[in-house]
Amino acid sequence: MISLDSPIATVLGDHPAKRKKITEGLGLRTVGDLLHHFPRRYVKTGELTKVAELEQGQMLTVIGEIVRCEIKSHTDRRTGRVAYRVETVLSTDGPSLRMTFFAKHKHTAEWRARTLAVGRRGLFLGQVSSFQSSWQLTNPKMVLFGAGEEGDPEGEASWIKDVGEYYPIYPLTKGVESWDLQRAITFARAVLDDLPELIPDPLRDAYGLLDARTAFDWIHAPTEHDQVSAAQRRFRFEEALVTQLVLARRRQELRLLGAQARKGDQGDLLAAFDSRLPFELTRGQREIGAEIEQDLAQPHPMNRLLQGEVGSGKTVVALRAMLRTVDSGGQAALLAPTEVLAQQHHRSITAMLGELAAGGMLGGAEGGTTVALLTGSMTKAQRTEPMLRIATGEAGIVIGTHALLEERVSFADLGLVVVDEQHRFGVEQRAALTDKAGSPPHVLVMTATPIPRTVAMTVFGDLETSTLTELPAGRAPIQTNVVPLAEHGSWIDRVWARIREEVEKGHQAYVVCPRITGDEPEQGETDQVDLDDEGNPVEAPVALSAVEEVAVELAEGPLAGLRVAKLHGRMPADDKERTMRAFAAGEIDVLVSTTVIEVGVDVANATAMVLLDAERFGVSQLHQLRGRVGRGGHPGLCLLVTRAAWLSPSRERLDAVAATTDGFELSRVDLEQRREGDVLGKSQSGFRSSLQTLRVLRDEQTIVEARAAAATLLERDATLAASPQLAAAVEEMERSRHSEFMEKS
């Protein structure tokens, strides 16, 4: 009997190579995986276009046969390099069409020509334009029939027969075509007699959700468009429900464990610190500080997210919480995402604390504590001393990177964990630190990437959020401009002229590149053709900017005479440290670096930042990066240099970053395309593909509903005994998250 757990081979034809591509390329191993591989889009086959009646710019869906296929080359005017195009002629039931496919690399063009060999038939979709008095499609989408396999003579005939009103277009991988998947899925749906129902009937009734069988039928072979949305709603709800059950269970477990209340009644460090502060706390800092003190005094773990723009003063808030913990006889750990940032936190916190951080030492304040630093690049010998001070409790404040998660590090009494820049840390890493304290520590997560409520809810379960909305006095606005080299190649000269001006005014600048050296292999430089999940080749842009090269070019060319230095993750820790210090001391004018400066690096005199190949960075990353400038009361300037084409999605993202400094708005732009699974930090493996259909923003409502449903379910049936299928899915997700973390750490 075939079930969802049967190996996928049971429903695939007898083509070992194809089977391998489906299992390995798409990660589909069971029949269930296959059925959960949902179409990306549908083509309304009832509406094939009549080629005889075309108009310029019209969207076209047409069936035809390739009757000519040639590779041509030309010189790309923009890059001056040789580029390729595959020109084909498609014969249809009306006039023939030209179809042209552009490629940057020869092997991509060759791959394309092989795929579109003469005689190949398929369904093609695209926008039509006129070209030398015939119609042309440029880079159309397609579904090729029969895959050119031997022994499949009736291929197209059966396609025509199986095709309903809507033809499904599946996410693909190399060597697998929508056609192959559609056949296997149709077969699987026919032979499966028993489909498990994950969602209990009362829940399905309450939320008006389809049963599993109908949902699978409608998502793979709809006869009208509404069926697709109804099926999607069911699957999204299912995914959200499982996630929320996992989170709800985790919250329950946490609450049951309890935590030590930290009431701040064993010391006066915090008061001493407040009286040393050279500035007044903002109202937000005071209010959030009070909330945190209240949380810390509870016998349950605090679980709080502290959001605020870069420079809004989160670190001060966190430091005050840490001091409160030390005042309660406990230790506090600050976990930073990078080595550079950990060192910087160590420097600035030690400086802010002054004599308060010299506990037990000559000149130290009475009742002071010490601050320990522990990072991955420290040698074993260098670690011995801080580890000892951590273990004895002498170090009240511990700052570090992932090294802190290592098993050998033990704390005397870890009471509070502060996680800086949450987006680099997974839920499970928090769990590992939790394991280090006898009872769960209180947790404060800081982020400069604001997270919409549902995301916070999804990622952190019951996290309380606090938001710092005002910037401390003296913060100046940052002006961001896109420099579009695609249209205005010469503007790069103005960029460097502008940097020179800043330096002449006595300021400093960052230049950020996506790569360290130019000889790292890029996608597309090998003979491999990388395909996106609709089967189109993805080509890397030519020659991305690299720190090592750009630093030399600038120092010898446009920025000659200025003090230019470089910084990247592959330099020895000492060099990095020295360079950062020299930059902070104003001994370097222009720092060419990778994103190692992304978080927290704080040089008040740096007023300008140039991001090269800016489209290579994510929205929140760009936002973080530009937060490095304009910190010292001088207006900041951020130039996003890009070769991305006008109107391309990359350019639109950059325009969005340039248009606003509102972190919440940007985080929506950033999250729009992301799936819940991505936000949760899942890996490709482990999760069934069904668990990737949720989009955190689009599906806010579903997530909220599922959260309520999960709570209700658990209230009535804490172990999900009455819903064994659902319980199994929840366990599977818990397991896969756990194993993903084990692999990472």
Chain positions contacting ligand ADP, by CB under 6 A: 279-282, 285, 308, 310-316, 472-473
Residue closer to ligand ADP (CB basis): 323 or 555: 323
Whose CA is closest to 397, among 420, 368, 421, 436? 368
Which of Mg ion, ligand ADP, none is residue 607 near (CB under 5 to 8 Å by kind)? Answer: none
Least spacing, CB of residue 593 vs Mg ion, in Å: 18
Q: Which residue has the tokens 């003063």?
A: 313
Q: Which does 224 bind (CB under 5 to 8 A by kind): Mg ion, ligand ADP, none?
A: none
Q: How many CB atoms lie within 10 A of CB 664?
A: 14
Number of residues that bind Mg ion (CB under 5 A): 2
Give min distance, CB of 378 to ligand ADP, in A: 24
Closest distance between ligand ADP and the C-beta of residue 313, in Å? 3
Nearer to Mg ion, 399 or 513 (CB): 399
Closer residue to ligand ADP in complex, CB, 314/346 = 314
CA distance linking residue 416 with residue 435, whole number of Å:
12
Among Mg ion, ligand ADP, none, the one that 200 touches (CB under a kind-dependent 5 to 8 A) is none
Q: Of residues 313-372, which lie at the interface with Mg ion (CB under 5 A)?
A: 315
Taking CB within 5 to 8 Å according to partner kind, which of Mg ion, ligand ADP, none is near residue 447?
none
The angle subtended at Cα 105 by Cα 104 and Cα 110, nearest 5°, is 120
325 binds, among ligand ADP, Mg ion, none (CB under 5 to 8 A by kind): none
Look at residue 370 and give its three-state secondary structure.
Answer: strand
Spell 311-336 as b/e; 16+ CB within 10 A means b.
Answer: bbbbbbbbbbbbbbbbbbbbbbbbbb
| 437 CB-near residues (< 8 Å, 6+ apart) | 411, 413, 414, 415, 417
The per-residue DSSP string of 216-273 comes to: HHHHHS-SSHHHHHHHHHHHHHHHHHHHHHHHHHHHHHHHHH--------S--HHHHH
**Dihedrals φ, ψ of 136, to 5°?**
-135, 140
- The rounded distance, in Å, linking the Cα atoms of 22 and 328 is 57
User: How far apart, in whole angstroms, are the C-alpha atoms of residue 244 and residue 461?
Assistant: 8
Say which entry of ligand ADP, Mg ion, none residue 472 contacts (CB below 5 to 8 A, set by partner kind): ligand ADP
Cβ distance to Mg ion smaller for residue 203 or 468: 468
Minimal distance, residue 453 CB to Mg ion, in Å: 23
Q: How far is the CB of 421 from Mg ion (least distance, A)?
A: 8
d(CA 288, CA 690): 39
DSSP string spanning 701-729? Answer: HHHHHHHHHHHHHHHH-TT-TT-HHHHHH
Shortest reach from residue 704's CB to ligand ADP, in Å: 29
Q: Which is nearer to ligand ADP, 314 or 576 (CB)?
A: 314
The b/e string for 193-221 (b: 16+ C-beta within 10 A; e otherwise) is eebeebbbeebbeebebbebeebbebbbb
Q: How far is the CB of 609 from ligand ADP (least distance, A)?
A: 16
Query: Residue 418 Cβ, how far from ligand ADP at the closest point, in Å?
Result: 11
- Report what 533 binds from Mg ion, ligand ADP, none; CB cut-off 5-8 Å by kind: none
Residue 145 φ then ψ, to 5°: -85, 150
Nearer to ligand ADP, 661 or 693 (CB): 661
Contact indicator for 179, 144 with CB cutoff of 8 Å: yes
Considering CB distances under 5 to 8 angstroms, the limit depending on partner class, which of ligand ADP, Mg ion, none binds residue 458? none
- Which C-beta is closer to ligand ADP: that of 441 or that of 630? 630
222 interacts with, out of ligand ADP, Mg ion, none, CB within 5 to 8 A per kind: none
Indicate the residue among 256 and 473 with the shorter CB distance to ligand ADP.
473
User: What residues contact residue 290 under an 8 Å CB cut-off, 6+ apart?
Assistant: none
108 binds Mg ion (CB under 5 A): no
Choose between 1 and 473: whose C-beta lies nearer to ligand ADP. 473
Q: Which does 232 bind (CB under 5 to 8 A by kind): Mg ion, ligand ADP, none?
A: none
Three-state SS at 610: strand
User: Least Å distance between CB 197 and ligand ADP?
Assistant: 48
Least distance from ligand ADP to the Cβ atom of residue 471, Å:
8
- Work out what residue 519 binds among Mg ion, ligand ADP, none; the CB cut-off runs from 5 to 8 Å by kind: none
Q: Residue 646: what residue type?
A: W
User: What's the number of CA atoms in the CB half-sphere (13 Å) around residue 500?
Assistant: 13
Distance (Å, whole) CA 644 – CA 411: 50
CA distance readout (Å), 336 to 6, 308, 333, 342, 523: 44, 16, 10, 5, 31
Q: Which two tokens mark 691?
A: 């668990």
Would you say how long the chain is, in residues?
745
- Residue with Cβ nearer ligand ADP (597 or 691): 597
Q: Tell me which residue of 436, 442, 349 sits closest to 390, measured CA to CA.
A: 436
C-beta closer to ligand ADP: residue 312 or 594: 312
Q: How far apart are CB 282 and ligand ADP at their closest, in Å?
A: 4
DSSP-assigned letter for residue 202: H
Is the CB of residue 181 less than 8 Å from the CB of residue 169?
Answer: no
Site for Mg ion in 583-612 (CB under 5 A): 600
> Would you say 472 or 558 has its CB closer to ligand ADP?
472
Alpha helices in 441-490 (DSSP H): 453-460
Measured between alpha carbons, how far is 683 from 737 in angstroms, rounded to an integer? 8
Nearer to Mg ion, 440 or 600 (CB): 600
Stretch that binds Mg ion, among 25-33, 250-258, 310-318, 329-337 (CB under 5 A): 310-318
The residue among 203 and 625 lying less far from ligand ADP, judged by its C-beta, is 625
Choose among Mg ion, ligand ADP, none what residue 579 binds, the Cβ cut-off being 5 to 8 Å by kind: none
Q: How many Å apart are CA 549 and CA 214, to the nearest integer? A: 58
Closer CB to ligand ADP, 279 or 646, in the complex: 279
Q: Which is nearer to ligand ADP, 311 or 440 (CB)?
A: 311
**281, interface contact from ligand ADP, Mg ion, none, CB < 5-8 Å by kind:** ligand ADP
Q: Are 430 and 419 in contact (CB under 8 A)?
A: yes
Alpha-carbon separation of residue 636 from 18, 569, 586, 606, 633 (angstroms):
55, 25, 17, 8, 9
Choose the contact partner of 571 out of Mg ion, ligand ADP, none; CB within 5 to 8 A by kind. none
CB of 328 to ligand ADP, least distance (A): 22
Compute the least distance from the CB of residue 622 to ligand ADP, in Å.
16
Choose the one of ligand ADP, Mg ion, none that binds residue 105, judging by a C-beta under 5 to 8 angstroms depending on kind.
none
Min CB(348)–ligand ADP separation in Å:
7
Give the shortest CB-323-to-Mg ion separation in angstroms: 17
CA 642 – CA 148 distance, rounded (Å): 41
Backbone phi and psi for residue 69, each to the nearest 5 degrees, phi listed first: -155, 120
Nearer to Mg ion, 88 or 315 (CB): 315
Least Å distance between CB 341 and Mg ion? 8
Q: Nearest approach, Cβ of 735 to Mg ion (angstroms)?
A: 35
Contact residues for Mg ion, defined by CB under 5 A? 315, 600
